[in-house]
């Protein structure tokens, strides 16, 4: 909210002006994310699955959410050339992560 890529800075009052349905969608998204994280932690302790699957799914979840943000939700739409550096951390995460 303080340093957005392409929109003006938002204040706390702007956040509170949002409709209740939009806040409910955000809370639902957080609950789904939390349930997935708990399921991932539980699955990592199952001997048949093991920590290898846990590591892969943890890395995959991060990259899938980044891809959705860029291509589906168009989070960088209209952003300047400086925002193209976004791909560098993604590459590093995939290469060295």
For residues 51 and 48, give the distance between their C-alpha atoms in angstroms, rounded to a whole number: 10
In which band, very low, low, confident or very high, does the pLDDT at 28 lie, cut at 50, 70 and 90? Answer: very high
pLDDT over threshold 70, residue 33: yes
Q: What is the DSSP letter of 19?
A: -
Report pTM: 0.49
Q: Which residues, 6+ apart, have CB-to-CB distance to 83 below 8 Å?
A: 5, 6, 76
8 Å CB contact between 59 and 97: yes
pLDDT at 93: 78
Report which of 35, 58, 54 is spatially closest to residue 44, judged by C-alpha positions: 54
Q: What is the pLDDT of residues 43-91, one digit of tens each?
A: 777 777 666 666 666 677 778 888 888 888 888 888 888 887 888 888 8
pLDDT for the residue numbered 50: 65
d(CA 93, CA 64) in angstroms, rounded, equals 12
Q: What is the pLDDT, as a whole number, of residue 97? A: 61
């Amino acid at each position: 909210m303080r340093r957005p890529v392409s929109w003006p800075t938002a204040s706390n009052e702007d956040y509170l002006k949002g409709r209740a349905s939009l806040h409910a969608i955000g809370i639902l998204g957080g609950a789904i994310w939390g349930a997935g994280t708990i399921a991932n932690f539980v699955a990592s302790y199952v001997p048949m699955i093991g920590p290898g699957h846990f590591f892969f799914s943890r890395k995959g979840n991060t990259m899938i959410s980044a891809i959705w943000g860029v291509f589906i939700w168009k989070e960088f739409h209209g952003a300047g050339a400086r925002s193209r550096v976004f791909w560098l951390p993604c590459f590093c995460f995939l290469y060295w992560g």
